[in-house]
Each structure stands twice: as structure tokens, then as C-alpha cells.
Structure 1
Amino acid sequence: MTKLSETELASWEKTRDLNAELLQALHEAKRGQWSRKTEFIPQPDGTVRRVVTRRDGTVEKDEVISSERAQVALARAATGLSQSAFAKLLGVSVRTLQEWEQGRKLPSGAAATLLKVATRHPEVLQELAA
């Protein structure tokens, strides 16, 4: 996994064919293949390192996120649900979930407790989603 420098990223962006990439991603999704993968790696200080990797092995994003943001992202990742499905399951809007994941807002007490359950026991929420 290599991270592109700013110059390499700009050069790569100039050569992209977005229409072809979107069509390829659509075909891969239909076949159940992934085009981007997100990994969450807990850090000793309570934060979480999030690494987004493209299928070709290139690291698209590598960042450390706060423990509050990490809780929401880890809970959703553990369930394997999309943002819209996870938001519906929690009874919140997709926008609210996005605000939580981006750290602009924090979940309320009840929502925070449900997120802890989702992180520790994702099978419970997966069962509810089915």
C-alpha cells in the first residue's frame, strides 16, 4: 500500500476516465466485488486509524479519527450496512448519521448506547435489519 503524493495524485486525476470507472464499479458491485475497502485499526490512545484502499492497492485515504467519530464508523462497519440502511435502523436521517461520522455532531445518550451495542454485538443489529 502506497500513498500518492500531491503531485502523483494530480497527475493520476488528469488521466482518469470517470465514466469508465463508474461503469466498471457498477459491474463489480453487481458481481459482488469491491472497488474500495475501508479498514479501521484501533490505536492505543483510543483513536482509530481509517485506511481507504482501492482494489489496485493504492491508499486513497489514511487518517486518524477521534474516538467519538470512530464509535459511529466502527458500529456501522461492524454491521456491514450502508449509511442509508444503518440510519434507517437507528431511526435517524442519513444526514444525521453523516454528521456523526464526520464529527460535526455527537449522538445523544440513547443513540450512543445503541451504537455501543452495535459495535460490541453487530449480529443483534444485523438480525433487526433482516
Structure 2
Amino acid sequence: MSDASLEKWESSRDVAAEIEQSVKEILAESGAAVAISPVVEVRVKSGLSQSQFAALLGVSVRTLQEWEQGRRQPSGAAKTLIDIAQKRPEVLAELAA
């Protein structure tokens, strides 16, 4: 395969969709369910990146990642803001704008 044809093939791929499809196939075969952190759900619903979401909550990206991976739990004001965002995800999007 030439460099040009390889480049054309790579640019036509949707790698994210391919990975998502692969994960779905693996899970379908194993019958395993994947639990998604409520913090991830809230962030995704708000349409914000990790860095944007962390900034609005006043925490580091690393702290947010710890919450999303279930290694730590938010407490205090951050927990309250996440609860509000869960009920009204558009609020955080408005604040980020």
C-alpha cells in the first residue's frame, strides 16, 4: 500500500466509532454490563469537556478523573453542584458560555 493510499484510508476512518463498536461487540459476547459513573453521565449531559467541567466545579482535572473512575467521591459543594447539574444539565452549559 502506498503512502498516499494509506493516508486516504486513514482519513476515511472514524476511529471513535470503530472503538465504540468493538467495545459493544466484546460486551455483547461476554454479557458484562458496564457501569458508568454518575459524574460522567452529568458531565456528558452538560456537553462539557473534563477541563471545562472541572473548572466550573472549582477542582482539578485530576480530581474530576478520580471521581469519574470511582476512586474518590465528591463531597460538599461539589456534590451539590453535581446534583443540580444532574437535574438541570443546561445550567452548567450556560455558566460555561
Q: Which moved more, 1:70-79 or 1:91-100?
A: 70-79
Alignment: residue pair count? 83
Contact map agreement 2:37 2:70 (CA 8 A) in 1 = no
Deviation at 1:35, TM superposition (A): 4.2
**TM-score, scaled to structure 1:** 0.53
Larger % of strand: which? Answer: 1
**Taking every aligned residue pair, what percent have the same amino acid on both sides?**
52
**TM-score, scaled to structure 2:** 0.68
Q: Indicate the structure (1 or 2) with the bigger Cα radius of gyration.
A: 2
Deviation at 1:129, TM superposition (A): 0.4
The one-letter amino acid paired with 1:119 is Q
Larger % of helix: which? Answer: 2
* Cα displacement string for residues 23-43 of structure 1 (whole angstroms, at most 9, x for unaligned residues): 74xx98xxxxx7436xxxxxx
Gaps (5+ residues) in structure 2? 1-6, 28-32
Aligned-residue CA RMSD (Å) = 2.8
1:54 paired residue number: 19
Give, in whole Å, the separation in 2 of the partners of 1:101 and 1:120. Answer: 18
1:36 paired residue number: 16
Give, in whole Å, the separation in 2 of the partners of 1:58 and 1:127. Answer: 35
1:3 paired residue number: none
What is the correspondence of 1:1-130 to structure 2 with a 5 Å cutoff?
24=11, 35-36=15-16, 54=19, 57-59=21-23, 62=27, 63-65=33-35, 70-130=37-97
